[in-house]
Structure 1
């Protein structure tokens, strides 16, 4: 809730005021007082107050936040407009454009989730919002897809080089590989490759060759470029490479 203010007092004869520069889809609180002067001094007196809201607009900031690979569930969020009384979303398959899931929520939430998604399928999501004046337009499409899973048998350190192999995501346009010597921090982007590739061999991390005696943490992010916008699967799972044995232990955020 924001408070609306005029920058200067209005004349005593004025019976209305128009606020400008309001943030769309936002609730405001307005209070009216009047000033008067007597021989003993100047005073303010309360007239009344009320809440009002600016109109909602087409949603922005729609994006994926998490894809739970094993639970087969995806979460997405948006730039919430508190003045909305309903939010509607539709999730469609990219391959055929058919609606996979659709729902209208009476109490607007910041985050939504859709279950029973398929890990090898790419989806789009669009949202619109409703207020007392009606529905907004649909947001532009945001893309939803899982993070690539690292192949445990083919990811290993051998001959001072780290080879990372992953499963492809249908519809991705590229993959980015990150590596660190620590589980929770220090990840460096070491390679971005085309969607035709599902592995990469890395020679150095922070200027040092890889060692079969050290442990490394790796994860791969899938990217989908549409026009000038790039959507990503984000990081949820990371994997610990145990030396040269190629054994992995996954952790997640």
Structure 2
């Protein structure tokens, strides 16, 4: 994430993490659906192992948790200008029983036509292999001052991919602190925004931030490993409206509390 993890650190991290995404449906405060990120260098075995750990945590908190989609990192672009895209996972590693969201990571914003061409290519490859593609996700840490440009860029991409493929994005809490109006317009242009909270001290959940995102109903809140702040935020649902929450877990997070992948 911009301003939270350095470009060099991202290069190191990009090959070793996968995450678990947890979010609450608006209709039931105690019903949670567990999505999973399968990052570069990870496998479904890693996903399944950590899923079991997390489902046990759900029982501990007396929450009803269900398994959702797999979010698969299929392509990334490095932080240096001119660097070519790097392919990651292919459909052969995933059964046709999975509902899949294809994830694209960019250190710097790549041309919309190039990204759309790769998305269309990848969708065709995965669908021809019999995989159920339900959406794509863009993982890019736009500067707060460039959110309007990012929104226009996303709209260009959306027009060039199949209409039945939704676009979601990852997001920064600083967007809503620095440029609330543009951040809300950006959220309205996509299916969802996974809002990232990586470190307790660097990304505090303030009343100002909660007020800034009030009324934005397609946000998910991303936490790392056993960061207990999500429990409090979950309880804030009645006060601030509907919350969809996310917990990011690495394969070693119970030991090292490592950073999330983007």
Normalised by the size of structure 2, how large is the TM-score? 0.24
Higher helix share: 2
**Larger of the two Rg values belongs to structure:** 1
Which structure: greater strand fraction?
A: 1
Q: Flag the structure with more relative contact order, 1 or 2, with Cα contacts below 8 A and sequence separation at least 6.
A: 2
